[in-house]
Structure 1
Amino acid sequence: HFDKILEKGELLGIDKSCKYYSSCHHNNLEDCTFCYCPFYPCRDESTRGKWIRGAIWSCEDCNWIHRTEVASKVLEEMKNLGMNKPEDIEKEWISLNKVRERVKTLYPP
């Protein structure tokens, strides 16, 4: 999924043909670009994520990364970091989390 996003370099929008669409985040989505969140696990309850049984981070109630303005800014910042393949997400984890904090300041959850 990330390879398509980074290669295309633009938002994907809503993908109602996705088999997970009807169950994903309770259909409360504006954009499906980051189906797999690049910040997982963010461990940030302000985005409505939560711990399940104290051990598993759940994003099911988080819609922050699926807001169009958030997804657009995150993608822009990823491109600015020169991220163009999925492996860059792990390699640039610290920089990516700084991006998350900047975008979260611009567009609070």
Structure 2
Amino acid sequence: MQSFAKRHFDKILEKGELLGIDKSCKYYSSCHHNNLEDCTFCYCPFYPCRDESTRGKWIRGAIWSCEDCNWIHRTEVASKVLEEMKNLGMNKPEDIEKEWISLNKVRERVKTLYPP
């Protein structure tokens, strides 16, 4: 996990609540074409989900791009994902990698509740 992503997940998991929109972020204006409701998961805990139903896509068949995915940035989705992460006892970034299988089950449950 990148150091910036790790610091971001530290902040999310420590705070335990949604961050909302962060217009002060230097990436805000280019992120997902400004079609955001919530910036909590600017680093998606499901990356790479490889799920084209979220409008993610493969670039040259080798790199997963989330550029057109806004699903994790919807407030109700971000809220439910964070709730489920807390229920799994995730309180540090390393837990995301350790609990990858459980976390992807969360993604499927939340996707059923809030389709892309």
TM-score, L = length of structure 1: 1.00
Deviation at 1:17, TM superposition (A): 0.2
Task: Give the structure 2 partner of residue 15 of structure 1.
Answer: 22
Specify every segment of 5 or more residues in structure 2 that has no aligned partner in the other structure, as ranges.
1-7
RMSD: 0.2
2:51 to 44, 49, 68: 44
Counterpart-to-counterpart distance in 2, 1:40 and 1:17: 24
Greater helix percent: which structure?
A: 2
Deviation at 1:42, TM superposition (A): 0.1
Deviation at 1:82, TM superposition (A): 0.1
Which secondary structure state, in structure 2, belongs to the residue aligned with residue 23 of structure 1?
Answer: helix
- The answer to whether 1:77 aligns with 2:52 is no
Specify every segment of 5 or more residues in structure 1 that has no aligned partner in the other structure, as ranges.
none
Counterpart-to-counterpart distance in 2, 1:85 and 1:3: 6
1:16-54 CA distance string (max 9 Å, x none): 000000000000000000000000000000000000000
Percent identity between the aligned chains? 100
Runs of 4+ in 1 over 3 A off after TM superposition: none
1:61-102 CA distance string (max 9 Å, x none): 000000000000000000000000000000000000000000
Counterpart-to-counterpart distance in 1, 2:77 and 2:61: 28
Count of residues paired in the alignment? 109
Which secondary structure state, in structure 2, belongs to the residue aligned with residue 22 of structure 1?
Answer: helix
Counterpart-to-counterpart distance in 2, 1:3 and 1:76: 15
Deviation at 1:104, TM superposition (A): 0.1
TM-score, L = length of structure 2: 0.94
Counterpart-to-counterpart distance in 1, 2:89 and 2:71: 23
Counterpart-to-counterpart distance in 2, 1:77 and 1:42: 17
